[in-house]
Amino acid sequence: MIEFCCEFMEYHANFKCDIHENPYDCPDKIVIFNEKSNDYGIIIHDGGSSIIEINFCPWCGDKL
């Protein structure tokens, strides 16, 4: 089980939308976590599947 730095990161990394199957289509999905590479990213909602990789939590500032 993955430990998250704060409750906000845990919520957003684990958020599952009931309407959109693809997380890149959901405007409420902000953060995506790649378990294979252990990387976090902020989704760019421009119709594609781009992300901006982040190394620190946007809410608490801890290193990810």
Residues 40-51 have a mean pLDDT of: 94
- For every residue of 6-64, DSSP letters joined together read SHHHHHHHH---SS-SSGGG-TT--EEEETTTTEEEEE--SSS--EEEESB-TTT--B-
Does the pLDDT of residue 62 top 90, yes or no?
Answer: yes
pLDDT of res. 38: 86
Which residues does 23 contact at the CB level (< 8 Å), separation at least 6? 17, 29, 32, 43
| pLDDT tens, position by position, 6-34 | 999 999 999 999 999 999 999 999 999 98
Does the pLDDT of residue 1 top 80, yes or no?
Answer: no
pLDDT of res. 34: 87
- CB distance 40 to 13 below 8 Å: yes
